[in-house]
């Protein structure tokens, strides 16, 4: 099972020693191995795109490029990041609900393979931009399916959200797309579920999505050459040993895959990168105020926002460091309930709330496991303009075993 879980000795050998520790450490070899395992267990007639919103670090993109089919992006900026990190030959597909003329033009200019259209207005706009560019833009239509969606912690369809064209007007959308002479209809995008841990329930959803897609296309004499079932394969942060069962999901879905000529696409992010990085930060102070004890960290939610964004207890370990460079007595506590906070001037900057600890000292290291997805990338880095964490990349295959980037 892939899970990067470094020792204190490894962490201290990698981070700077002249300042309190604060770093993201990525195991790129573990990432490559984990990605190969995912891809090798896909259902037949499938392509796997990495959704870079989870982590768009150039080293991560370059590591995944030889393994995944391509990259799913959600902005013009993400298009440019893929091109800069991977090059002109990388396959890119583009989604997202709020598109502009510039987005469509950037997609055309950078050779994006296909754009997912999420409203009738955007069908008109995409057709106009493609006409001005003298090209035909391949598209999928994203449908917000009706009905309850099983097994997810976040749903993007089956209920009121800003995503996709509601299923009630799918016929109007398909009539309109046939009138758009500079668009090429390739099929449907049906991403509805995020962070689903139930492979059986996800297979049930995907089977129903495939059935409806064939029905919609058939009513209008269209061919759905591509059906994008999105991502949403989850990570259980409360139990990292519990994994979304990709082989089981693939077996359950296999019998419902359309005949040859239809390609399934998946676009996953979290499940690819979460397990292969950690966020480490040093305790720089301990204090008790009004009966509650706080451990203050050299870092916080501006580096690693996921725990506060999801309001969950993120998996972590505390590593008791023996280093103490100062002449005065080292502050420490025993048998206490502690809240771990960051360096921001707001009481909202909490990474772990009311944790029972046996022993804790200033200078100890808190290591947040499974921190590779939606950590740095969703955080408000420059609030208060604190220093960024180090970024350390481990790889036995690289010419340099360790690449260290310091902001």
Contact by Cβ (8 Å): 225, 258:
no
Beta bridge partners, 286, equal: 295
Burial 191-200 (b: 16+ CB within 10 A, else e): bbbbbbbbbe
Task: Render pLDDT for 263-320 as a digit per residue (tens, 0 to 9).
Answer: 999 999 999 999 999 999 999 999 999 999 999 999 999 999 999 888 899 999 999 9
Q: Is the pLDDT of residue 156 over 50?
A: no
Q: Which domain holds residue 388?
A: 8-25+275-405
Place of tokens 């089956």: 158
Domain count, the chain: 2
* 286 shares its domain with 213: no
Asked if 303 contacts 376 with a C-beta cutoff of 8 angstroms, the reply is yes
User: Does 113 share its domain with 59?
Assistant: yes
Q: Are residues 126 and 237 in the same domain?
A: yes
Does 30 map to a domain? no
Distance CA 80, CA 204 (A): 36
Cβ neighbours around 184 below 10 Å, total: 15
Q: What is the Cα–Cα distance from 379 to 376, expressed in whole angstroms? A: 5
114, 93 Cβ separation under 8 angstroms? yes
**Domain end (from 208, 237, 268):** 268
Average pLDDT, the chain: 91
63 shares a domain with 169: yes
Question: What does DSSP say about strands 70-73 and 92-94: parallel, antiparallel, or unpaired?
Answer: parallel
Select which of 180, 206, 276, 345 is catalytic: 345
What element of type H or E holds 142?
A: strand 137-144
* pLDDT tens-digit readout, 65-85: 999 999 999 999 999 999 999
The DSSP element (H or E) to which 46 belongs, if any, is strand 46-51
User: Any catalytic annotation for residue 345?
Assistant: yes
Domain boundary among 238, 268, 298: 268
Query: In sequence order, what are the residues at sequence separation of 6 or more whose Cβ sits closer than 8 angstroms to the Cβ of residue 259?
Result: none
Helix (H, G, I), strand (E, B) or coil at 28: helix
Q: How confident is the model at residue 151 (pLDDT cuts 50, 70, 90)?
A: very low
Boundary residue ending a domain (224, 247, 268):
268
Provide the whole-model pTM.
Answer: 0.93
**pLDDT tens, 115-139?**
999 999 999 999 999 999 999 999 9
Quote the CA–CA distance of 386 and 389 in Å, as a whole number. 9
pLDDT at res. 258: 77
């Amino acid at each position: 099972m892939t899970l990067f879980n470094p020792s204190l000795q490894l962490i201290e050998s990698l981070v700077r020693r002249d300042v309190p520790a604060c770093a993201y450490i990525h195991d790129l070899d573990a990432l490559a191995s984990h990605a190969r395992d995912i891809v090798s267990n896909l259902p037949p007639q499938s392509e796997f795109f990495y959704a870079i919103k989870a982590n768009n670090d150039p080293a991560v993109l370059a590591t995944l490029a030889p393994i995944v089919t391509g990259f799913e992006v959600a902005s013009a900026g993400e298009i440019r990041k893929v091109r800069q990190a991977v090059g002109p030959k990388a396959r890119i597909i583009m989604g997202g609900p709020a598109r502009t003329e510039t987005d469509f033009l950037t997609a055309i200019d950078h050779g994006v393979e296909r754009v997912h259209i999420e409203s009738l207005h955007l069908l008109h706009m995409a057709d106009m931009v493609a006409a001005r560019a003298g090209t035909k833009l391949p598209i999928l239509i994203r449908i917000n399916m009706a009905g309850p969606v099983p097994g997810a912690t976040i749903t993007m369809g089956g209920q009121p959200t800003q995503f996709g064209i509601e299923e009630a007007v799918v016929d109007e959308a398909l009539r309109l797309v046939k009138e758009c002479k500079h668009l090429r209809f390739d099929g449907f995008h049906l991403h509805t579920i995020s962070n689903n841990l139930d492979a059986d329930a996800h297979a049930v959803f995907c089977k129903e999505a495939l059935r409806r897609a064939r029905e919609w296309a058939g009513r209008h004499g269209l061919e759905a050459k591509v059906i994008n079932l999105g991502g949403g394969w989850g990570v259980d942060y409360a139990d990292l040993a519990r994994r979304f069962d990709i082989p089981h999901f693939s077996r359950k879905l296999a019998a419902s895959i359309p005949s040859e000529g239809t390609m399934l696409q998946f676009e996953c992010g979290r499940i690819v990168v979460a397990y292969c990085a950690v966020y480490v930060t040093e305790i720089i102070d301990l204090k008790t105020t009004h009966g509650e004890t706080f451990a203050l960290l050299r870092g916080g939610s501006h580096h690693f926002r996921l725990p506060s964004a999801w309001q969950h207890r993120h998996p972590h370990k505390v590593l008791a460091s023996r280093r103490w460079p100062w002449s005065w007595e080292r502050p420490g506590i025993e048998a206490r309930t502690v809240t771990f906070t960051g360096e921001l001037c707001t009481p909202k900057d909490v990474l772990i709330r009311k944790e029972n600890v046996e022993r804790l000292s200033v200078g100890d290291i808190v290591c947040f496991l499974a921190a590779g997805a939606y950590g740095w990338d969703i955080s408000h880095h420059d609030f208060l303009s604190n220093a960024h964490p180090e970024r350390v990349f481990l790889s036995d295959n690289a010419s340099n075993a360790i690449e260290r980037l310091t902001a």
